Structure formats: structure tokens, C-alpha cells
A and B are shown apart, each in its own frame.
Chain A
Amino acid sequence: MWKEIGDRESGKLRPSLFSNRIRCNRLTSLQLSNHKEIVSPHRGSINSIQVDLTEGRYLLSGASDASVAVYDIQRATNYEGGSLVAKHNSIFVIDKQHDHGHKYAVSSAIWYPVDTGLFITGSYDHHINVWDTNTSQVVMNFKMPGKVYRTAMSSLATSHMLIAAGTEDVQVRLCDIASGAFAHTLSGHRDGVMSVEWSTSSEWVLVTGGCDGAIRFWDIRRAGCFCVLDQSHSQLGRRLPLLRRSATNKNLLSKSLSSGQNTSVKARALPKKSANSNVLKQSANSRNPSQTKGSGRQRLHPGMLSSQDRATAHYGAIIGLKGTEDGMYLLSAGSDSRVRLWDIESGCNTLVNFESARLQTSKAIQLAVTQDSALVFVPCMTAAKAFDVWSGKTMLTFRGHYEYVNCCCYSAQDQELYTGGNDRQILVWSPPKSISVEVDEWKRKGQAPAPDKDNWSD
């Protein structure tokens, strides 16, 4: 670390690189934090947690006992053991006693992406509530046709305020906060929708994963879904950067004509992509050689085409979706205990083998990705695991929960991971404090607890 600082001082390292390195280092040393503790007021399993997107300071959690709580993760409420352990009590809790509180389990709790003045909860009591954080009152209420599994808002959106809701029902609904009505009803799934995610590159694109095993892409400006991911359409590994790829394409072309046909189609499609605003749709269609002929019909109503419409991304339900920060890739978790990495542009399965042992199958899970999309955090039964996104190798395993882990949330700002599980705990995983820092703190606060050291009596 000192070497890096020296390099930075002398100008050998660029600032972004320096900060990235530090982040990386801290990330690889994540462990159960002893000095930071979130006191969970929940009496049921925690289904959803999120750190707010604007300040990175407030953590929102929703639990099965129909309660929602907000914590300040930067400032501790009280200390224990001579200021060794910082306890973060909830700032406020909303539970069944609240007048407009949910009746059944809260399955999803998200912040309004623009500021922390609002948050949205979806519950098994068929309602989506929009809350004012400061008064903790319901400002808007949407009645859904079934249990709400997941809600999502686009963090990029500048022109709409839509909550996408995945419910028991086959239709995905978009609730408009501005008008208080359902703006869209997207039909296409054959079963309930467990996971919903807005694209991180386009504010109009929504991704949904259903219990029927399909992952559908929707452009909310048009009717129908424009892409269904198919696990059998695959490419090996991540795409190469543009320039190098064209070079390899040429090589490939020269080497084998038969295999080259596919890539040549890709190459032809490239210039179109940059021109067209509807990037994904175009490219997805043109990627698929079997459908190049029928592209005209497909453009009219692609969701109706049965051969593509029946494609599945997983065997079983899609229980988790997460797009990378750059919007190029999508990670999906299925009840077949697989995690898949999809190239959004091509709509192909990248065949990265994630070494996940098992995933829980009955509930939706919440994945988290680091900012540079190097690691993905996946709840695997009682542990959470960090996989390398590109190789699928297990980098870290977070064991601490005594029951199933439901959700992960990574705070890029602090390089901290938060996990919530069925054991009603929210655990904080952070890089270890250096001993000197600890000692300094003790000195400052004036009291040190009995140090932890060997005690051999004989």
C-alpha cells in the first residue's frame, strides 16, 4: 500500500487506477465485521436490503414480518465494549402496527433512486406502497393482482418515474408514481415474475425473469418483448474489445468459412448498432442466424414468434437478476442452482461456469455486483459467495448466517457488503481495520477492553 502511495505521489499511478487498486485490495479482504453491527429490529427473515444510491449512507431493509427499517450505516448510534463495537440501531421501523403498514411479508424494499426522500416497498399483501421517508407515511399505494415479488426503479431514468413490479400474476406492471396509475401492463411470461431489473444502460429497457424460466427484455416504448434469452445460444467467454475482435474475426474468417458465417453476420451488424437508438433489439435479432430471415416479421411482434418465445434461460424459475454497472452483461440466478452470465448485446449465454454449490429455490434472491463488475455476490444457502464474474471462480465465501441468506448489497463507497438472511440478521462484511487504527481509537476514547490474546496457564 505504501508503495502505491509513493507511486501516486511521484505520478507513476493515475488517480483512478490508484483508487481502484485500493478498492480491490480492500474488497479481497472482506470479512465479518466485528466493529460494525446492525441491530436488526425485524422478527422475520430479511428479504430485501438496499443502500441508498445518492449518499450511500442509509440502508433500507424489508422483512417477512411486514416490517421495514432504515439504518444509518455511517454514524453509529451507540458503542459497546469500550467503543470497539459500533452498533447501528434503526432510525425508524415501520411494522404492522403502522396504520398503512403492510399486512404480510415485505418482499422488496427499494429507495427512490433520485433521493432518499421516498422509498418503495412491495409486499405479499398485493400492495406496493410508496413512503415518505421523513414522515414515514404512505404517499401512494398500488393494488396489484397478486403477491408482489420484486419491485424496481431505473436509476438512469430522467423522463419517467415507473416502478416495475413482478408479481404472482403473469403480467408485469409498471406503476407510475407521477400519475398514480398503471402505465403499462407487459404480458408475455407464462408464470409469475420473480425478478425485475432495469437496464443500466438504457432507461427504457426492462428485464424480467419469470418462474417459467424465461428472461425477457422489454422496451417500454413499444409493445411486446423484444428479446427472450435462450440458454442454448451461447458464446464462449466475454466479448473482446471492438478493435481486437474485428482482427480476430478476420483471422477466423480466413481460417474457416463455415464457422465464419456467424461472426460475419455479427460484423455486418456492428455499424447499424451505433446508429440505431434501439440498440439491443437490433443486435439481438441480427445475432441470431436462424432468425435473420424472419427479421421483418419479428420486428412487428417478436414476442409472438413461438420458436423464440418459448426459449428459457434456466431450468426452473429465475430467482435473481443483476446487470453489471456498464450495462453490457446480465447475471441471472435460477432455481436450477445455476448462475449465468449473459451478454446483453448478443443475447448469448457466455457459458461461464459459476461454481455455486446450491441456491435456495423457493424465494427470490438479491445479487450484488461490484462497481467494476469484477465480483458478483450471490447468496448460496447459508453463505454468501463472491464469484469472479469472468471466470466464475469462487473468490470469497461469507459464512456467518445461521440460516439461508436472501439478499446481498454492496456499498461501493465503503467497500462493504451487507447481507440479510432468514435468521433475522443483517451482517456487515468489511475489510479489517488495521490494528494501529484500533489502538488509536482506544487511546482516543480512553478505555480499552481486555485485549484478545493467548492465555496459556500451563
Chain B
Amino acid sequence: MEEEREDGGGGGSGKVVVVGLIEKATNSTRPEVDPRLLKAIKSVVRCSDYELRIASQTLMSFMKRDHSQVRYLTLLIIDELFMRSKLFRTVIVENLDQLLTLSIGFRRNLPLPAPQAVASVLRSKAIEFLEKWKTSFGIHYRQLRLGFDYLKNIHRFQFPNLQANAARIQQERREREMRTKEILLNKFETLKESFSSLKDEIQSTIDEISGCLGIIDTKDQNVPLVPVDDDDEMEEFRNSELRQIRLDSLREGDKVQESSENKVVFDALRELYKLLVTKHLVSVQEWISVLIRVDVADNRFRDVSLKEFIDIRNRLQLVKKKCEESGCALPNTVNNEDEDIWEEGITESSEIRTNKRSNDHDSESAPIEPRNETPCSTKVSNGNEEVSHEGGKAESNPLRNNLLAAAPVMKWGSFLDNWGSNRDFVANQRGLELEGHWGRVDYDAVIPADKIAELNVQTTLYKEEPMEIQLCRAPLRKGGLCQRRDLRVCPFHGPIIPRDSEGKPISQNSSMEKRTLELGTDLVEKLANQSLKNVRERDKDEAKKREYDKQALRRAKLAKVREHNEAVLWDAAVASTSRSSAIGDELETTNRRKSSARNKKQTLASMLKKKVTAKDRLAQRLLNTHSRDGTIKQLTLGEDANYREAFPNQW
């Protein structure tokens, strides 16, 4: 359409067209060129060599733009034309080094421009294109070969090597197919030989099973049955489910129960069943699949044996079903369940064990130790018995009893392991436990026991008293009461004061009373209340305003969407009408192009702009001097603490 129009125009206007088209095509943030524009460009340059030369110049100049997205789209167009036009190839190949510099960015002083993500895509695409060009036209253009060799040999770029890869994959697949075919054929041959013996084997198994079943069945008939009273009892059980259950149970009852006398038969049956399921059925299945897949010249044997195998399989399945009905069945599932249970037992027991262990620990921690007692006096390092033992002792020794009553309760900790031990400790430089790690140990560097005792002394034992923090209970705007728990002041509703069920402060009266007593404080309070009220009002206003803003924003967005829709519709209309809109076109295109260009430029520019992510914001926040100082202090503190923890014996 457009291009047809341009054909009439000739040289001067044509130039404008192809340049404009390219500009339009490259001015987009999408990862591919608009196919409509691309087609237009192609048909324009196809018609005249002049256009083609102009196009190549324009494309090269666009490649120099300082924006990877533009370069990327330009490169896509170049590739399209390169694969098609000989003239274009000869023109582009002249400046191939420049093109490669701009698209691959292999020169250190000319890296690819800004949006990094697009730049990397551009590079990989360019490399791919270069390889493609080289394989298709390399023989005719020394420059392509040169560029390829240069990048490959000197810059060691990894080319995707598409063609070779595809060939290799094809080759591999072919080889694999050949191998499988061969294997199948081999199997087929062996089957030919062993077919009869296989059949015999299966047949014998089936016979044995049927024999066993026969024995059981005969016994079955001996046993008196109870189907007689089945009917009248049916009357009582109206409920179908119940009836089903009953039927099942009856049928279960029908079955021959395994007993000492027929145990042998059952065992044999079970064995045979297992053989049937795990061996014969599987092998038959396998053979069937082999026969289906195998490709031989002589189909006769294959068809016959396939048929036979299918028969055998059906028979086997029948027998299997019978076996299952007869009661020796479901060995597998039962087994599984057994195993499951057993495993569960294990885990449980281990859990129990661990629980026990932790209990041990608890009881270990339980012993009460006097804070300042010398460590040699008691040894409670080894668990329960000793405690009980001590307990026994305690009764006999009232002094000790008293001491115990007065002693504070220590929390359980690792220091208890060495409680009261009198040995010296090796000061490991890394602060690691010696048992658990390999490392350099200096046996001369020891910390004497009394030092350790000193270090283990805990001078304060503060325990916070449990206390319930009151609810704020201020009435909320949306109804209900504020559920925040703060110690003194709720950040939203001021100081926590006793309130009634509706959230009204109860102590108002008391404060009124207080006013007569303490005027000064009252004034302060009043002022505070006033300010609070003011603040709340302002908050309310702001909330309202925010809502307004939000609405306005939504409206704007809708307007934008509408505008966009209109533009799209306009586009579509232009596309469908050919000549009629040509006149009005010019004017409007320029307008539209301007506007669209502005919009798009913004997007192109915005690609360049660094997006402010949460990470950045955080970084900025963190890099503030104020907060930095704070963090540094905090970090050093933390480090201190870590160090203290890591090197407890070096403090």
C-alpha cells in the first residue's frame, strides 16, 4: 500500500519513505521489528537499487545510535535485507568491520551502549547472524570469512554453530535409532529360538496354578456355606451400603481360609502367583512391545507370535484375577503396608528416643546450682540418676537442703557440660570445639580451670516478670476498637488509658477531678489533646485528598487507554483504506508520528534511565550518612557480640 504509493513518487520522495520507515521501525521498545513495517521496507528497497543504497546508509547510521535497542532493531532489518539482496550484501560487507564493532562491541574502546539487557541480546544475535551469513554467503565474500575468523580465532567468541549442532543432533538420533533397531532385531532372533520353550514354561505355570486352585475349590465345596439365610437377612438391611458391606463379608466368608492343612497349597499358589506376575506377565508384555516395534522383512512369524502372545497375556491376566479372588492375592500391597508400618515404627521409636534425650537434657538443666558455690562441691554433669541420688542425699542433709532452696535456677546451657570440672582447657584459637573439628591445636595454650570458673560466673540473672500488655481500645473510624498492644503510648491513639466497652476513656472524670488539684499538668494535657485533635483532622483531610488524587489518576489512565485505542483504530483504518486517505495522511501522520514518537521516545529514553528499584531505594537509604553511622555502630556492636560468642575463651 504505502510502497505502491511511493513507487509513483520516484527518487526524491522515495528516499524520505525508506528513511522514515526505518526510523519508524527502529523506534520501538519491542523485541522484534513490526512485521508490517518490515514488509514495507522490503518491498520498497526491492523496487529500486537507489532505495537500497539509501537504506543501507540509513541503517548503518542507525547502528551508530547510542541505544542498544535501536541498534538491535536495525540489526534485525539488516539481517532481513542481507539474506535477500545481493546489492545490499556487497554494500554492507564493505563496512563489515564497523557493523561488527557496533553490534558485537568487541573493541574495548567502543562498548555497546546503555540498556545492558538489550545489549547482550544484541551481541548474541549479531554473533548468530554473522555465523548464518558466513555459512550462506561466506564463499562469495571474503570479508565475512575474515570477520568470522577474526572473532573466532582472536577474540575467541563462541559461535552457536547452529548448522553443525543440528547435523550432530540428527546424526546422534539416527545412530540411536539404528542401535535400537539392532537391539530389537537381536531380541527378535532370540525370541524366534526360545519362543516354544517360553510358551511351555508359561503353560506349565498356568497349569500348576489351575491345579492349586482346583484343590482349593474342592475343599471349598466341602465347607458348609451360609447363603441360605442371606435373603431373609437382606430384608433387615435396607441400607445399600450396609448391604454391600455385608455381601463383602459374606463373600469373604465364602473363601477358603488358610489353615494348617492347606497351607502347603496356599504357599505353592502364592509362589506361583508371584512368578506369574513378576516374571511371565512382564516378559510377555515386553515381547509384545518388541514385536510391535521390530521391523523385519518377514512379517509372518511376527504376526503369528504377536497373536499368540496376546492370547497368552489374556490368559495370564485371567489366571491372575482368579488367584486374587481365591485369596492368596495382594501379596504386594500387604507387603508394602507391612514395610510402611515397620518404618513408621522406627521413626516413632527414634522420635521417642530423641524426646527422651531432650528430657534428659531438661532434667540435666533442672539441678539447682548455687551461684557462687565453688565448682568442686557438686557434680551434676551426668543426668538423672545423680539427681535422684542427690535428692536422696538432700533429705539427710538439711543444710544442703536449705542451700538448694536458696539457690537460683540456672538455665540450661553448654557451660553446664563442664560444670565443676577441674581440668584446664585448651584455648583453641578459632574458638571451635575440639571434638567436632580438625584443626591446629596448641596444647601449651591452656586456660586454667579457675579462670574458666571465673569466666562462667553469671553475675546477673534478670527475669522479666510476665505482664499482660493492655489493648489500646480506642474507637476506630471503621468501627471496632483498636487492637494494638503498646506499653504506654499507642502511635495512633495516644497514651493508653482505661476505656469502657465503647472505647470512651473512663478516666476522663478522674482527670477532671485532678484538674482542680493540679492545674499545670492539666493545661499541658489539654494542649496535648488539642494538638492530637488537630493532627487527626489533618490526617482526615489528607486521606480525603488522597482519594481524590487516586480518582483523578484513574481517570487519566482511562483517557490514555482511550487515546491509545483510537490510535490503534486509526492505524487499522489506514491499513485497510489504500488511496483514499493519502491526502489527509500526510498531515495526520506527521502529527501522529510526532506524538507517537514522543511517546515512544519516552519509552526508549526510559529504557536508558535506570529503574529505581526497591534495592536502589534501600541502597540510598543505607548510604545516608546518618543511617550509615547508625548501621556502623550497630554492625560493630553485632560484631562484638559475634566475636564474644565465637571466642568465649579468649575474652
For residue B402, CB closer than 8 A to chain A, the reply is: no
B42–A458 contact, CB under 8 A? Answer: yes
Quick one: CB contact mask for A430-458 with B, threshold 8 Å, 1 for yes?
00000000000000000001001111111
Count of residues in B whose CB is under 8 Å from the partner chain: 26
B140 contacts A34, CB within 8 Å? yes
Cβ-neighbour of A424 out of B43, B85, B147, B153 (below 8 A): B153
A458 to B40 alpha-carbon distance, docked (Å): 11
Contact in complex: B154, A85 (CB < 8 Å): no
Asked if A336 lies at the interface with its beta carbon under 8 angstroms from chain B, I say no
> Is A312 an interface position by the 8 A CB rule?
no
Output the residue of B39, B42, B142 with the most chain A CB within 10 A.
B142
A399 contacts B141, CB within 8 Å? Answer: no
Contact B146 A402 (CB under 8 A): yes
Interface contact B142-A34, CB-CB below 8 Å:
yes
B85 proximity list for chain A (CB < 8 A): 454, 456
Q: Of B89-97, B197-205, B537-545, which binds chain A?
A: B89-97
Restricting to A7-50, which residues have a CB under 8 Å from any CB of B? 32-34, 37
Task: Identify the closest chain B residue to A428 (Cβ).
Answer: B142
- In the assembled complex, B353 has its CB within 8 A of some CB on chain A: no
Q: Is B142 touching A33 in the complex (CB atoms < 8 A)?
A: yes
With A85-B139, A453-B86, A456-B84 as contacts: A400 and B46 at CB distance below 8 Å: no
How many of A's residues come within 8 Å of B, CB to CB?
Answer: 25
Which residue in chain A gives the minimum CB-CB distance to B155? A402
Q: Is the CB of A81 within 8 A of B86?
A: no
Give per-residue flags for B5-48: 1 if the beta carbon is below 8 A from chain A beta carbons, else 0: 00000000000000000000000000000000001001100100
Give Cα A420 to B20, complex, Å. Answer: 41
Q: Tell whether B310 is near chain A: CB-to-CB under 8 Å.
A: no
Contact A32 B143 (CB under 8 A): yes
A81 CB contacts on chain B under 8 angstroms: 139
Is A55 engaged at the interface, CB distance under 8 Å to the other chain?
no
Provided the pairs A33-B142, A452-B89, A454-B86 are in contact, do residues A402 and B137 lie with their beta carbons within 8 angstroms?
no
A107 interface residue per 8 A CB criterion: no
Most buried by A among B84, B86, B89, B139: B139
Contacts of B39 in A (CB 8 A): 458
A19 to chain B, nearest CB (A): 28
Cα(A458)–Cα(B137), bound, Å: 20
Contact of A402 among B42, B87, B147 (CB under 8 A): B147
Residues of A near B95 (CB, < 8 A) are 399
A80 to B142, CA, bound (A): 12
- Let me know if A37 and B142 touch, CB within 8 A: yes
CB pair B142 A423 closer than 8 Å: no
Closest to A423 in B: B150
- On chain B, the residues within 8 Å of A399 by CB distance are 94-95, 97
A425 at the interface (CB under 8 A from B): yes
What 1/0 flags go to A74-109 for Cβ under 8 Å of B?
A: 000000110011000000000000000000000000
Least Cβ–Cβ distance between A448 and chain B, in angstroms: 11
Contacts of A195 in B (CB 8 A): none
Q: Given the complex of chains A and B, what is the CA–CA distance between A19 and B97 in angstroms? A: 36
CB distance from A79 to the nearest CB of B (A): 11
Q: Is B234 an interface residue (CB 8 A)?
A: no
Is B83 interfacial (CB 8 A cutoff)? yes
Residues B154 and A424 in contact, CB atoms below 8 Å apart: yes
Residues of B within 8 A of A425 (CB): 146, 149-150
A382 at the interface (CB under 8 A from B): yes
What is the CB-to-nearest-CB distance from B90 to chain A, in angstroms, rounded to a whole number? 9
B22 CB to nearest chain A CB (Å): 18
The answer to whether A452 and B146 have CB atoms under 8 Å apart is no
Is the pair A382, B97 in contact by a Cβ cutoff of 8 Å?
yes
Given the complex of chains A and B, what is the CA–CA distance between A34 and B86 in angstroms? 15
Q: Is the CB of B42 within 8 A of A400?
A: no
A287 to B89, CA, bound (A): 55
Within 8 A of A (CB), among B72-86: 83-86
Bound-state CA distance A37–B85 (Å) is 25
* Chain A hits for B141, CB < 8 A: 34
Closest chain A residue, CB of each to CB of B147:
A402
Query: B89 → chain A, closest Cβ, in Å?
Result: 7
Would A457 and B84 be within 8 Å (CB), given that A399-B94, A400-B146, A424-B154 are in contact? yes
B114-166 residues with Cβ-Cβ distance < 8 A to A are 137, 139-143, 145-147, 149-150, 153-154
B139 touches A84 (CB 8 A): yes
The minimal Cβ–Cβ distance linking A320 to chain B, given in whole angstroms, is 23
What residues of chain B lie closer than 8 Å to A382, measured between beta carbons? 97
B139 touches A80 (CB 8 A): yes
Please, how many angstroms separate the alpha-carbon atoms of A364 and B495 in the complex? 87
Cα distance, A328 to B366, chains bound together (Å): 112
CA distance A458 to B87 in the complex (A): 17
What residues on B are CB-neighbors of A32 within 8 Å? Answer: 142-143
Q: Determine how close the nearest CB of chain B comes to the CB of A180; give it in whole angstroms.
A: 40
Contact in complex: A452, B97 (CB < 8 Å): no
The minimal Cβ–Cβ distance linking A72 to chain B, given in whole angstroms, is 19
- In the bound complex, what is the Cα–Cα distance between A399 and B87 (angstroms)? 18
B143 touches A402 (CB 8 A): no
Shortest Cβ distance from A402 into B: residue: B150
Q: Looking at the assembled complex, report how far the CB atom of B205 sits from the nearest CB atom of chain A, in whole angstroms.
A: 66
Q: Please tell me if the beta carbons of A454 and B147 are within 8 angstroms of each other in the complex.
A: no
User: Closest A-chain residue to B138, C-beta based?
Assistant: A81
- Which residues of B lie under 8 Å from residue A84 when comparing CB positions? 139-140
State in angstroms the CA–CA spacing of A457 and B140 once bound together. Answer: 21
A435 CB, min distance to chain B CBs, angstroms: 12
A415 to B142, CA, bound (A): 19
Q: Smallest CB-CB separation from A397: which chain B residue?
A: B94
Chain A residues within 8 Å of B87, by CB: 454
Q: Is the beta-carbon distance between A456 and B154 smaller than 8 angstroms?
A: no
Give bound CA distance, A402 to B153, whole Å: 12
A37 to B43, CA, bound (A): 36
Q: Which residue of A lies closest to B39 (CB)?
A: A458
CA distance A423 to B142 in the complex (A): 15
Measured in the bound complex, the distance between the Cα atoms of B130 and A402 in whole Å is 15
Closest to A452 in B: B140
Complex interface residues of chain B between 49 and 87 (CB less than 8 A to chain A): 83-87
User: Do A456 and B94 touch (CB < 8 A)?
Assistant: no
Name the CB-closest residue of B to A84: B139
- The smallest C-beta distance from A31 to any residue of chain B, in angstroms, reads 9
With A and B bound together, what is the CA distance between A452 and B86 in angstroms?
A: 7
Residue of B nearest to A43 (CB): B153
Closest approach, in angstroms, between the C-beta of A30 and any C-beta of chain B? Answer: 13
Residues of chain A within 8 A (CB-CB) of B137 are: 452
Instruction: Identify the closest chain A residue to B98 (Cβ).
Output: A399
Per the bound structure, the CA–CA distance linking A353 and B149 in Å amounts to 37
The residue of chain B having its C-beta at the shortest distance from the C-beta of A81 within the complex is B139
* CB-defined contacts of A454 to chain B, threshold 8 Å: 84-87
Q: How far is the CA of A401 from the CA of B97 in the complex (A)?
A: 8
What is the CB-to-nearest-CB distance from A332 to chain B, in angstroms, rounded to a whole number? 28
Q: Could you say which residues of chain B place their CB within 8 Å of the CB of A423? A: 150, 154
Contact with B along A410-436 (1 / 0, CB 8 A): 000000000000011101000000000
A residues contacting B by CB (< 8 A) are: 32-34, 37, 80-81, 84-85, 382, 399-402, 423-425, 427, 449, 452-458
- The contact sample of 28 A-B pairs, CB cut-off 8 A, is A32-B142, A33-B142, A34-B140, A34-B141, A84-B140, A382-B97, A399-B94, A399-B95, A400-B97, A400-B142, A400-B146, A402-B97, A402-B150, A402-B154, A423-B150, A424-B153, A424-B154, A425-B150, A452-B137, A452-B140, A453-B86, A454-B86, A454-B87, A455-B84, A456-B42, A456-B46, A458-B39, A458-B42
The 3 closest A-B pairs by CB, nearest first: A81-B139, A452-B140, A34-B142
Beyond the given A37-B142, A400-B143, A456-B85, could you list 6 further A-B residue pairs with CB under 8 A, ordered by the A residue number? A33-B142, A400-B97, A402-B150, A452-B140, A453-B86, A458-B39
